[in-house]
Amino acid sequence: MRHGFITPAPLHYVRNHGAVPRADWAAWTVEVAGLVRRPARLTMEQLVRDFPAVEIPVTLVCSSNRRREQNMVRQTVGFNWGPAAVSTSVWRGARLRDVLRRCGIVPRGGGALNVCFEGADGLPGGGAGTTYGTSIRREWAMDPAMDVMLAYMQNGEPLLPDHGFPVRLIVPGCTAGRMVKWLRRIVVTTAESDNYYHYRDNRFLPSHVDAELADAEGENLVQASHTPEHVINEMNINSVITTPGHDEILPVDGVTTQRGYTVKGYAYSGGGKKVTRMEVTLDGGETWLLCELDHPEKPTKYGKHWCWCFWSVEVEVLDLLGAKEIAVRAWDQSLNTQPEKLVWNLMGMMNNCWFRVKVNVCQPRKGEIGLAFEHPTQPGNQPGGWMARQKRIDAAEAAAATALRRGTPEPPTTGANRRFTMAEVREHASPDSAWIVVHGSVYDCTAYLKDHPGGADSILINAGTDCTEEFDAIHSDKAKALLDAYRIGELVTTGNKGHASDAAPRRARRLAMVAGGSGIAPMYQVIQAVLRDQPEDETEMHLVYANRTEEDILLRGELDRWAAEFPDRLKVWYVVDQVKRPEEGWECSVGFVTEAILREHVPEGGDDALALACGPPAMIQHAVAPNLEKMKYHRSSSFVVF
């Protein structure tokens, strides 16, 4: 966004399915074959010299832009794109229609209904010799308004290898999955492409189709999904908030409240449609603010808009102070707009729900107040984002509820039961010894390197790492079951997760709970579940809750009410850094969480005791964990950190 309308080529997002092929401009040719009267093999020099050049800006978007939001709801079969799988370049090349007309494309009546494209990248899918390929309809290829081109320059320079050097297809307004790189062949056919990737990618399947159904149906589902209703061609309308950024903090003081704050972002639509309206809401959609639109591109002579645009709106800081979130939606000239809620689909494609940024009140420094902004996710495996936080809370609640009902589960019985540290795993990252971690188990994949359908490189690139997320994204349950044969043990962790012990399952009757700041959230859910949903439960809960001041204690009213109503089942003790209102009296602890405080206010560990902790990492690491261990709570069996 800092670079504005045109994305520098080195920053342009990249989506490749395999290794980048080596290419020589002088030796490269593009074959044109199939239903044409004059088949040809065109050199790069001929493409540049013999055909009129067209040069226009075009925004490229991956169909799976914003996929990680879908993966937070339920895992798809794709990797974690954030909201930046979108870029804009000025592309120069020969029009596809000029090339096809020069080669004498036969009429529709002669069966020339589709134009297929093949790249030069050797890929694992579909067997030996497979390259990336796809097709578009004849009408799209031959329509002068659609600006389909064989591009050989990007932003005034030859294409970079990652972007298709020496020549690639550009289909404006379409999913980038149709824009074949390292173009080698163009074949005019009656039927659409039968390429492995054409049939298995860029599909928007119904939400009821999950990984289990897809695995069970196999080829039948592939065929059933290959209908016009499921195929992705034109991109849908989408928009994203880029300012405020994730983790940005806006001070709230006498200066900032006297001036507005500008919220900004980008938007795009597909098929050449212009984005005509942008709206921002601070109250969940009850009211909307109209944004200013900036369209740097001029429409083509056919009225097409192939690029993203930018939007902005100034809001009052005091209005932000009262808001829980900022949400945005776009409209295009066909009055298409974005849905409020996310629509999950197996491939994680075309996510375009309202983009929401959470607004949280924070204390940047002592005596100050500010607003901290939180985006839904961070791209790739980066931590952060309100959706990721909510997922952790949900998982923690589920884990705590399970622990309460059943005690700590036994470890997996398949494979060896040796335990390894992550440092030991990292030492095995070569073809001679390739280990990976998936869901806390360690696997030695060395013997499988030569047999892996995706090739040895796709294992070696992850060797020595925890690749749980990547593995889940692209493997079926059948593939996951194959892992058992290579399991050599489990991963030892030191703080984020409790691990099963070798002891038999036991029932936790005493809960030692330690929370700091917003870490009260999972504890609150556990307490609520026990007291409200399990009225006959006799579990004793002892909570130590630490904050800066008594004013910072969250949910204090509810906690005190429950402690008074259920004195034998819930005991609460507060610890604060400082007392702001000593005149009102303070009967709990002042200072930090210490061993003495824990020994006095939570039970000692034992066969029927479980410790739960959630709070700032420094508090957990230096104050809570070592002291609970002294009290006979063990991270391997009876101590869970959220």
Pairing label, strands 433-438, 429-430:
antiparallel
The H-or-E segment that residue 31 falls in is strand 29-34
Any domain includes 534: yes
196 and 253 in a single domain? The answer is no
Residue 221 CA to residue 209 CA, distance in Å, equals 9
CA dihedral 228, 231, 232, 234 (to 10 degrees): -20
356 and 448 in a single domain? The answer is no
pLDDT by residue (tens digit) across 544-564? 999 999 888 988 888 999 999
Q: What are the φ/ψ torsions at residue 377 (nearest 5 degrees)? A: -150, 170
The H-or-E segment that residue 153 falls in is strand 149-154
Any domain includes 525: yes
pLDDT by residue (tens digit) across 420-474? 888 788 889 888 999 999 888 899 999 888 877 667 777 887 888 888 877 876 6
CATH number (domain holding residue 156):
3.90.420.10
Q: What are the distances in angstroms from CA 549 to CA 417, 523, 554, 618, 623?
A: 46, 19, 11, 18, 18
pLDDT at 504 over 50: no
What pLDDT is recorded for position 534? 66
Both structure tokens of 341: 């809620």
521 and 578 in a single domain? The answer is yes
Question: For residue 407, what pLDDT band results from cuts at 50, 70 and 90?
Answer: low
Tell me the Ramachandran region of residue 490: left when phi exceeds 0, alpha when psi lies from -120 to 50, beta otherwise.
beta
Question: 188, 34 in Cβ contact below 8 A?
Answer: yes
Domain count, the chain: 4
Give me the domain span that covers residue 429. Answer: 419-491
What pLDDT is recorded for position 78? 87
Task: Average the pLDDT over each of 13-17, 67-71, 360-364, 442-446 and give the range with the smallest value.
Answer: 360-364
Any domain includes 180: yes
Question: For residue 255, what pLDDT band results from cuts at 50, 70 and 90?
Answer: confident
What pLDDT is recorded for position 239? 98
Any domain includes 218: no
Question: For residue 414, what pLDDT band results from cuts at 50, 70 and 90?
Answer: very low
What pLDDT is recorded for position 274? 98
Burial class (CB in 10 A: 0-12, 13-18, 19+), 525: middle
pLDDT at 393 over 60: yes
165 and 277 in a single domain? The answer is no
pLDDT at 495 over 70: no
166 prior amide bond cis, ω within 30 = yes
Any domain includes 398: no
* 190 CB neighbour count, 10 Å cutoff: 11
Task: Average the pLDDT over each of 26-40, 155-169, 347-361, 401-415 and give the range with the smallest value.
Answer: 401-415
Q: What's the CA angle centered on 42, arms 37 and 46, to 5 degrees?
A: 120
pLDDT at 536 over 80: no
Residue 329 CA to residue 337 CA, distance in Å, equals 7
Any domain includes 402: no
**Tokens 């197996």, located at residue:** 346
253 and 122 in a single domain? The answer is no
Question: For residue 408, what pLDDT band results from cuts at 50, 70 and 90?
Answer: very low
339 and 260 in a single domain? The answer is yes
246 and 325 in a single domain? The answer is yes
* 521 vs 287, residue with greater confidence: 287
pLDDT by residue (tens digit) across 102-140? 999 999 999 999 999 999 998 877 777 889 999 999 999
Residue 629 CA to residue 519 CA, distance in Å, equals 20
* Domain end marker among 491, 524, 554: 491
514 and 485 in a single domain? The answer is no
Question: For residue 57, what pLDDT band results from cuts at 50, 70 and 90?
Answer: very high
147 and 260 in a single domain? The answer is no
Q: What is the mean pLDDT of the chain?
A: 88
CATH number (domain holding residue 519):
3.40.50.80
What pLDDT is recorded for position 508? 61
What pLDDT is recorded for position 415? 45
CATH number (domain holding residue 461):
3.10.120.10
Nearest by Cα to 440 from 426, 420, 458: 420
What pLDDT is recorded for position 458? 72
282 and 164 in a single domain? The answer is no
Question: 577, 591 in Cβ contact below 8 A?
Answer: yes
Any domain includes 496: no
344 and 459 in a single domain? The answer is no
Both structure tokens of 490: 């489990």
580 and 548 in a single domain? The answer is yes
Any domain includes 566: yes
